[in-house]
Amino acid sequence: MASSIARRLPSLPSLPKIKAAVNPCQCGCGAVCTNRFKPGHDAKLAGYVRRVQVGVVTLEGIEEILGVGQALATAHAMGVDYTPLAEREDEDADEMEFAEEDAEKLA
């Protein structure tokens, strides 16, 4: 009888709990999870990609509505490069400075 033998055996020591590694959610929401996505967030990302593909929103629109993380994650999922709006404004500002310097040199 296996059950009567098991009753006579001492119980096993409890093992220390191993904490699962936490990763940032790949949808770009900023949450941490033990897998690639928080539950349901893979579908959210697929929805962002689909919306951009059919043209109902742009990556810039996703950044404005949801945030830079989701825009970058959507671009990554689509395999395209995306520069966040804040960095673009900096680039424009740099270009303006160069343009002003060039204008001063020409004058």
Q: Do the beta carbons of residue 13 and residue 1 sit within 8 Å?
A: no
Shortest CB 46 distance to Zn ion, Å? 12
Shortest CB 38 distance to Zn ion, Å? 5
Q: Which is nearer to Zn ion, 27 or 52 (CB)?
A: 27
- Residue 66: name the closest of 53, 52, 78 by CA: 52
CA 73, distance to chain mean position in Å, is: 5
Shortest CB 8 distance to Zn ion, Å? 50
Integer Cα distance of 27 and 41 in angstroms: 6
Q: Which is nearer to Zn ion, 59 or 66 (CB)?
A: 66
Binding site for Zn ion (CB under 5 A): 25, 27, 29, 38, 41
